[in-house]
Amino acid sequence: MQVANTAAVVTGGASGLGAATARALAGRGAHVHAFDLPASIDKAPEVEGVTYAAVDVTDAEQVAEAVDRAAADPNEPLRTVVNCAGIGPSARILSKRGVHDLALYANIVQINLIGSFNVLALASEKIAATDPLEHDARGVIINTASIAAYEGQVGQAAYASSKGGIVGLNLPAARDLAQYGIRVNTIAPGIVETPMLATVSEEIRAGLAAGVPFPQRLAKPEEYADLAMFLVDHDYLNGEVFRMDGALRMAPR
């Protein structure tokens, strides 16, 4: 699919997976609208071709306005959306501190799952209104799950629920949007070097890497971006979830 001279939306675009993907798309000539929270944008470097927008993905009005801006230039039709925004706090369903906080559970699902759906739905309306390309293709949406969707560990009930929802959303979304020439795919990363791991000690990081069959290291955000770009380019990949995990299968803890 054509990337140059088009618009793209990347959520969580100021850091981690989103920042790497925004750079990759901009490097291919797209005008990237990177949605993120103000605190993350304040720390993000300037990148040619990337415009940052302060957006809470759970806020339908904020997302609608930001998507409208991203799709406003007729010379840069919106073709690509990559949902990377997410959080991953851990808590057991029942622990010495009591029962899992319901508000925490709801917040994780709200950001990771409902936020992704919110952006997908609102952006798909704009993509559907663009002129079709070859074979009536109009665009592609890529969501981010996790291998925790399949092998959630102790303390990941909320996170695994939210990412399992992304996996469940993938195929019906692809089927719903097929009539508009919009493909939907999902990437399920393993353990990636992102800001979420920034506070983890080297010893713990080494232990995490040792659990990966091959290559025995943590994944890099740029590798996620490479896979996202492959999915953008390959017009026959649709309705699929792609694990990026070095053959890792998570143990219970």
User: Could you list the active site residues?
Assistant: 159
- The radius of gyration computed from the CA coordinates of the chain, to the nearest angstrom, equals 18
The token pair at 120 is 């997908």
**178/202 Cα distance (integer angstroms):** 45
Own/partner long-range contacts of 174-180 (Cβ < 8 Å, ≥24 apart): 174/238, 174/239, 175/239, 177/124, 177/128, 177/141, 178/238, 180/124, 180/127, 180/128, 180/138
**245/36 Cα distance (integer angstroms):** 25
Say which residues have a Cβ less than 8 Å from residue 131's Cβ, sequence separation at least 6: 77, 138
**141/59 Cα distance (integer angstroms):** 19
Position of tokens 């306005």? 65
> What are the two backbone dihedrals, phi and then psi, of residue 177, each rounded to the nearest 5 degrees?
-95, 0
Position of tokens 């719903």? 176
